[in-house]
Structure 1
Amino acid sequence: MKVRVERDLLVESVAWVGRSLPSRPSVPILAGLLMEASEGQLTLSGFDYETSHRVTLPAQVSDPGRCLVSGRLVADIVKSLPHQVIDFSVDGAKALLVCGTSRFTLQTLPASEYPELPAQPPSSGVISSDVFARAVSQVAGSASRDDTMPVFTGVRMEIEGSTITLLATDRYRLAVRELEWEPDEPTVSATTLIPARALSDTAKAMTGSTLTLSLDKDAAGGDGLAGFAGEVSGGSRWTTTRLLDGSFPKVRNLMPEPDAIQTRVRIDTTTLVEAVKRVALVAERNAPVRITFTADGATLDAGNGDEAQASETIETHLTGDPVTVGFNPTYLLDGLHAIGTPIAHLAFVHPTKPAELTGATNLEEAPQTSFRYILMPVRLHN
């Protein structure tokens, strides 16, 4: 095997494939990066039995072949090299990497023992990768990071025809995002639960192109697969991830019915973000920020009488009854960042019931409903 490849392309590709390499592999061979050279291209692959990454980039191949090397070591080496072409060759059990005056000799691993990567499921349709990445970023942050409850660490993907709905919750907040796509079958209907971290990493890595979404229709969880493929600058990327098994909670009943809403508040998003950040400085860990919404504005309070306290009043536009509610400041800020609009719209049924956060581009516009962030209030102590 003998290959010449651009340094910057290799750095980016190795870094992305390295995301699927386990830091503490159950089987040592999984720490390897599989390199396969064929006419005009180099393919890099990584697999941890849950997620697989594969990327193909252009290369000058004078001797086709394949080899397996330490993924972490190669990643560290290539990103430290000067911006020159890299020559990579294999001779027996040794691999030689040359860039300018730098030379590295690496021990190869037995490529014959590397597990076969799962096949990409058949295409289900395509979507703009930028739109998909934005939608995933809005939702994935609301998934739990507690691996003891796997079902909450995933993003539920519901597909009905040309509409995809993404949902994620950690039991304290719920994020829901609807977006359009182009399915291969106009009447397609499917529901899957994809690990949030894998989905987020994939969406970020495949921006700037049309993304092909592939779902294993024969398995809804456990042994099922979701696949993603896209063209990026310098090559093609594919990834698969095993779906999560388990029943996602019935969360749609948390979203307030329009007829039940008693209070609506419109507020400048940046103003609210900065006020929450300032007031939360005196809040103890996990303590809520208390917000009182009236016709005269919103007053934010945090702290208690024995410690530091903070209070700030900002301008708002209220319709309906005044309301006082407590929010976890981190969860509230996450939602305000996720809506991504100049105006935030809060809707309340009751101070003790979930509040709905949506966005608008101006004070006169109706709130956008393609993204909804449902936030559970924190009980306040008088």
Structure 2
Amino acid sequence: MEFRIDRTAFAEAVGRAGRALPARTPVPVLGGLLLEADAGRLAVTGFDFEAAVRVEAEAEVAAEGRVLVPGRRLLEVCRVLPEGPVSCALEASRFTVEADGTRFGLSTLPIAEYPALPAAPAPYGTVDAAAFATAVAQVALAAGRDDTLPLLTGVQLRLDGGEMTLSASDRYRYAVRRLEWKPGAAADGVVEAAEGVVEALLPSRRLLDVARSLGRCGDVVIGWDPAGGGGLMGFEGGQSRTALRLLDGRLPAYTSLFDMAGAAVAEVEREGLAEAVRRVAVVAEANSSVRLDFSAEGFVMLRAGFGDDVAAQRLPATLSGADEVPVAFNPAYLLDALTSFESPRVRLELLGAGQRALLHGVADGGGVGAGTAEAGTAEAGTAEAGTAEAGAHRHLLMSVKQLV
């Protein structure tokens, strides 16, 4: 095995495939990156049973072959390689990397012990890469971080006709984002039109990493096998292919939770509210809340702290459906929700302290929007207070029961 490749392309391929490497593994070969050189290309693959990432790059191949190299060590080598062409070769049991007079020799792992890689699911449709990356980022922040509850660490992806819906919840918040996708239209071929509804629960951190890495690829090809697919969903863009193993189960339905009949409706400038939350939360103790008192007189008062250590700030806001509504939120959760939108204003449907609050992005014209300019799927609408049409992106928060 021998090949020559541009340093930037080599480092990018190794870096992207290296994201699939497990942090710790009792199986040494799973810590390796598989390098395959043939016919003018290099393919780098990382695999840990939950995800398989394969990245291809152009290379001058003098001798075809395969080698399994310790992944973390190869990542470190790529970070310090000088600019310019990189020459790599397999010499007996040593893999050498040389660039501009710098030479590294790396041990190899037994390739015969490397597990068989899963077959990539067949193309099922395409989605705009930038819109997909934005949508995944908007919902993934609501996914749980407790690995003892794997169901809640996932993002649920639903494909129904020409609409994709992403959702995530950690029991205290629930984020949902809708966007368009093209069923049955593969980037490099024609597949049969997708039929029926597909639902898949995917690891949120893995999906977020995949979406970010493919964000500038133009289109992402979604891979899925209607017959079962071996519990995998595929994502392909540019010269990168990733297969993610599905989590078991599905998230609880959110339809009834998002029914906010009888709610008061407040509207406020989004960035101003986020900055005010950051400011007053400085005096908040750990696990304490930030209180927001909305008034029909045209303002919201934010308060945090206890005793002598307190902070308050008043902001312009509108409220309809009630004279006043006091609510309190975990400041980190509220900031996550606010920053997930990109619209200039945010609308909050409020049921009161200890109950649900539903946030929507509001476009400049006053209608409820998707909350993102990148996705290009903003929905505008006008409605009476308390009955605003839900936008493509919605975020549900639980208000704290006890108001301080």
Conservation of the 8 A alpha-carbon contact between 1:261 and 1:349: yes
Work out which of the residue numbers 182, 190, 196 in structure 1 matches 2:198.
Answer: 190
Report the counterpart of residue 70 of structure 1 in structure 2: 70
CA distance in 2, matches of 1:88, 1:94: 11
Is 1:206 matched up with 2:207? no
- Deviating beyond 6 angstroms after TM superposition, the runs of 4 or more aligned structure 1 residues are none
After superposition, the Cα gap between the structure-2 partners of 1:366 and 1:261, relative to the gap in structure 1 and judged at 3 Å, is farther
Is 1:273 matched up with 2:274? yes
Q: How does 1:18-37 map to 2 (within 5 A)?
A: 18-37=18-37
Percentage of matched positions with identical amino acids: 38
Report the counterpart of residue 92 of structure 1 in structure 2: 92
Report the number of matched residues: 373
Conservation of the 8 A alpha-carbon contact between 2:353 and 2:403: no
Conservation of the 8 A alpha-carbon contact between 2:326 and 2:352: no
Secondary structure of the 2:144 match is coil
Residue 175 of structure 1 and its aligned partner are, at CA, apart by 0.2
Conservation of the 8 A alpha-carbon contact between 1:266 and 1:363: no
Is 1:351 matched up with 2:353? yes
Alpha-carbon deviations, 1:299-329, whole Å to 9, x = none? 0111112x41111111112222120001111
Is 1:319 matched up with 2:320? yes
After superposition, the Cα gap between the structure-2 partners of 1:177 and 1:289, relative to the gap in structure 1 and judged at 3 Å, is same
Report the counterpart of residue 256 of structure 1 in structure 2: 259
Residue 380 of structure 1 and its aligned partner are, at CA, apart by 1.6
Residue 26 of structure 1 and its aligned partner are, at CA, apart by 2.3
Secondary structure of the 1:316 match is strand
Report the counterpart of residue 10 of structure 1 in structure 2: 10
Residue 247 of structure 1 and its aligned partner are, at CA, apart by 3.7
CA distance in 2, matches of 1:32, 1:164: 35
Q: How does 1:1-382 map to 2 (within 5 A)?
A: 1-184=1-184, 185-208=193-216, 209-219=218-228, 224-231=231-238, 236-257=239-260, 260-296=261-297, 297-305=299-307, 307-321=308-322, 322-362=324-364, 364-368=366-370, 369-381=391-403
Q: For structure 2, list consecutive stretches of 5 or more residues without a partner in the other structure.
A: 185-192, 371-390
CA distance in 2, matches of 1:217, 1:353: 40
CA distance in 2, matches of 1:313, 1:283: 17
Letter in 1 for 2:18: G
Letter in 2 for 1:288: S
Alpha-carbon deviations, 1:147-188, whole Å to 9, x = none? 000000001111111111111000010000011100012533
CA distance in 2, matches of 1:290, 1:199: 34
Conservation of the 8 A alpha-carbon contact between 2:68 and 2:108: yes
Alpha-carbon deviations, 1:137-156, whole Å to 9, x = none? 00011000100000000011
After superposition, the Cα gap between the structure-2 partners of 1:181 and 1:266, relative to the gap in structure 1 and judged at 3 Å, is same
Letter in 1 for 2:340: A
Residue 92 of structure 1 and its aligned partner are, at CA, apart by 1.3
Residue 251 of structure 1 and its aligned partner are, at CA, apart by 2.6
Q: For structure 1, list consecutive stretches of 5 or more residues without a partner in the other structure.
A: none
Conservation of the 8 A alpha-carbon contact between 1:158 and 1:192: yes
CA distance in 1, matches of 2:368, 2:108: 61
Secondary structure of the 1:310 match is strand
Conservation of the 8 A alpha-carbon contact between 1:52 and 1:239: yes
Alpha-carbon deviations, 1:282-313, whole Å to 9, x = none? 111111101100023000111112x4111111
After superposition, the Cα gap between the structure-2 partners of 1:363 and 1:319, relative to the gap in structure 1 and judged at 3 Å, is farther
Conservation of the 8 A alpha-carbon contact between 1:218 and 1:224: no
Conservation of the 8 A alpha-carbon contact between 1:270 and 1:342: yes
Secondary structure of the 1:253 match is coil
Conservation of the 8 A alpha-carbon contact between 2:353 and 2:400: no
Report the counterpart of residue 382 of structure 2 in structure 1: none
CA distance in 2, matches of 1:46, 1:132: 23
CA distance in 2, matches of 1:169, 1:366: 22
Letter in 1 for 2:264: T
CA distance in 2, matches of 1:134, 1:35: 31
Secondary structure of the 2:311 match is strand
Conservation of the 8 A alpha-carbon contact between 2:369 and 2:392: no
CA distance in 1, matches of 2:369, 2:110: 58
Q: Comparing 105-114 with 37-46, which one deviates more in the overlay?
A: 105-114
CA distance in 2, matches of 1:77, 1:15: 11
Secondary structure of the 1:130 match is helix
Conservation of the 8 A alpha-carbon contact between 2:355 and 2:400: no
CA distance in 1, matches of 2:125, 2:365: 37
Residue 373 of structure 1 and its aligned partner are, at CA, apart by 0.3
* Aligned residues: CA RMSD: 1.4
